[in-house]
Structure formats: structure tokens, C-alpha cells
Amino acid sequence: MAVRKLAPEEMQPESFSFSSETEAFAEQQIAKYPPGRQASAVIPLLWKAQEQAGGWLPRKAIEAVATRLDMPFIRVMEVATFYTMFNLEPVGQYFIQFCGTTPCVLRGAGDIKKVLEKRIGEQNHVTADGKFSWLEVECLGACCNAPMVQINDDYYEDLTTENFEKLLDDLAAGRPVKTGSQIGRNRSEPFEAVNTLQDPSLYDGSQIGAWRKRFEEQAQPAATGEAAAAAASIPQDVKAAKPTAGRAIESEAADTPAKRAKEGETPVNPVDQKEAGDPSVATKGKSHTEEGAQAAPQSSKSYVASPGKDAVPTSPTTPEAGTPLAQAETRRDGSESKPGVVVDKDNKTS
């Protein structure tokens, strides 16, 4: 792609201001966006300014758009020089955009290009009478009717050297021309004989719902087959996984009132047991047992052993019950809440 820059100074007009029609268009476009977001209308305003200026954007037109949208000039220049839909140099009354992309080339675009060069000259060049100029562009989205050109706002498709020469002659003479296919094709229907989509039932409504019915009919045996396959895949003699794999193992509780009573010791209040492992509670001093609270019934089974109220933790990171918070270890890495080997005041371990 050629460098896109403004036309030479000698081509630039002295001034540009919005016509009443362009101003009305600008107001309509700006109203589409929230206050302060008027810059969003930059492309439509540039497009309309280009139309008013005769098909190209002089510097003054770009400045007028920037002023109207309260944008820096360079921001509008960025848009105008980026998009090839904006012409930065004067164009002919009939500005021809010639598609030079592969599908069109495969269908004879090279011959169309030769006609342009013979009749108009190099691209970006306006004929002496000001009627024609042309530019090679990328795919214009009408590949199925290739080769094609866009002249101002209309497409001309299915071109041959003959019908394209005639088209240029008619435009130059001011005669009416036919847009679209130049060989009588209806839009993008098949090029010669129409031999698809000819069943009348496609258009009389009788096919509505037929596809669903057909899918349901086809899906039914398939579902049955799947269900049968799924049922067959279930083993008849199911063996349990290892019973203890990944599971907690129930065992005799290490320190429970029932166990202590059985061993002839004083039962420990389960609340004290719980709070003994919590330093913030343990520092309160008096236990529920000392206050005469009754031990609540407790299961003789448990999953882990908890330190008792008189337990002396062997881990140096666990504060001893009754230790003021200020003197307690500041480390809190979770180890203080882990059950460990504890020794009671009678030097018994649990």
C-alpha cells in the first residue's frame, strides 16, 4: 500500500466549512453518543465532509471535523490517513475502485486492469476532463460475481473487457448504466443454469418442522444404542475399593471421660479439652471443671486426641496455658493447633 499523506499544498483549497446539510448530518450523528463522547462520530463526519468536498478530504475539511468534535487535529488525521475509504487526493467524477484480489484475478481482473490503464492511465490519476480516476483495492466482498469494480457507491460485477469498456463509454456520455451483474445474472445466483434449491416445497411452507422430525427419527435408534452400550459397560461384579483408602480410621479415643473413668482417673470436661488447645481461651485461668461444671456426655470414640486441660505441650511454639499473651510466642504458623504428644502433670503421655 502506498504511503497515505495529504495532497500537495497546491491542490489544497483555501477554506472549508460545513454546509447546512453536512451540519445537520453532524448533529444527528453526534446525538447518537453520550455527552463528552462526540469523538465517536469522527468516521461518519469525515465521510460526509469527503462527500461535500467532491470525493476527497482536503486538510481544511479534516480541521473542520476536528473543530466540530473538539478533537486534536492529529487524532482526526490518524483516522483519515488510516482508512482507505478516505481519499486524500482529488478523484474523478467517477472514482473506480478496482478489486485486484485473488478470486477476481482468477476470473479475469487482469484484463479489466488493462482497460483502466488504457482508458484512464495510472491509478491515482484524474483524466483531463475530470471524469475518471481509479485505485486498486483489496477484496470488496463480491467475489462470487468476480471480477468487479466499485464506481462511487455502486458495484459493477461479472465484468468482461467488452462490457466494461461499454460501461465506461456510457458513464462518460452520461447515459444510464446498470449496476450489479453486467451479464444479467440475478444477484449471486449460479452463473449459468440454476440447478440447486429448485424444489418448490422449499418455498411453500410444507417443509417447516420437517427437519426436526427427521432428526428425532434418526436420533431415536442412536439413543437406544447408546443406552444399551452404557448398560453393558457397567461391571456386574462390583468390587469395593480398599475400605480404608483415603478415609479416616475410627479408633479408640486417646483421652475421653469414659476412658479416664475406666482407668480410675478424673474425667476431663470436654469443653476444657477443646479450650486447652486454644491459647486465647487457655489464658483465662479457671476451667469449667474447677468451677464445678458437669462433664457433658461424650462418645467413647474420636478421630484425634486433643490436649487436656493440664496438658503440657512439648512443642516450644505452643503457649502454655496461663501464659500472658504478651509473653507467649508470637509465631502462629498453625502448629499450635495441631495435636501433638502431650504430657500431663502426672508425667503421663497421651
Would you count residue 135 as binding ligand FES (CB under 6 A)?
no
The DSSP annotation for 92-159 comes to: -SEEEEEE-SHHHHHTTHHHHHHHHHHHT-STT---TTS-EEEEEES--S-GGG-S-EEETTEEEES-
Query: Is 43 or 144 the residue whose CB approaches ligand FES more closely?
Result: 144
Q: Which of 64, 142, 168, 328 binds ligand FES (CB under 6 A)?
A: 142
Residue type at position 273 = Q
Query: Is 102 or 224 the residue whose CB approaches ligand FES more closely?
Result: 102
Query: Is 147 or 313 the residue whose CB approaches ligand FES more closely?
Result: 147
Residue 276 grid cell: 486447652
Q: Decide: residue 287, CB within 10 A, 0-12 exposed, 13-18 middle, 19+ buried.
A: buried
- Taking the C-alpha atoms of residue 329 and residue 27, their distance in angstroms, rounded to an integer, is 73
Query: Is 139 or 271 the residue whose CB approaches ligand FES more closely?
Result: 139
Would you count residue 143 as binding ligand FES (CB under 6 A)?
yes
Residue type at position 22 = T
Task: Give bridge partners of residue 157 from the DSSP assignment.
Answer: 181
- Taking the C-alpha atoms of residue 252 and residue 243, their distance in angstroms, rounded to an integer, is 18
By rule CB under 6 A, what string of x and - marks binding of each residue 80-119 to ligand FES? -------------------x-x-xx---------------
Q: Which of 7, 39, 71, 139 binds ligand FES (CB under 6 A)?
A: 139
Query: Is 81 or 123 the residue whose CB approaches ligand FES more closely?
Result: 123
Instruction: Kindly indicate which of the ranges 140-148, 246-254, 282-290, 296-304 contains the residues binding ligand FES, using the contact rule CB under 6 A.
Output: 140-148
Q: CB of 199: closest distance to ligand FES in angstroms?
A: 30
Cβ proximity of 307 and 277 under 8 Å: yes
Would you count residue 149 as binding ligand FES (CB under 6 A)?
no
Cβ proximity of 86 and 46 under 8 Å: yes
Per DSSP, 86 falls in state S
Query: Is 179 or 315 the residue whose CB approaches ligand FES more closely?
Result: 179
Q: CB of 139: closest distance to ligand FES in angstroms?
A: 3
Q: CB of 144: closest distance to ligand FES in angstroms?
A: 8
By rule CB under 6 A, what string of x and - marks binding of each residue 40-79 to ligand FES? ----------------------------------------
| C-alpha distance from residue 251 to each of 155, 264, 272, 301 (Å) | 87, 21, 22, 7
What residues line the site for ligand FES (CB under 6 A)?
Answer: 99, 101, 103-104, 139-143, 146, 148
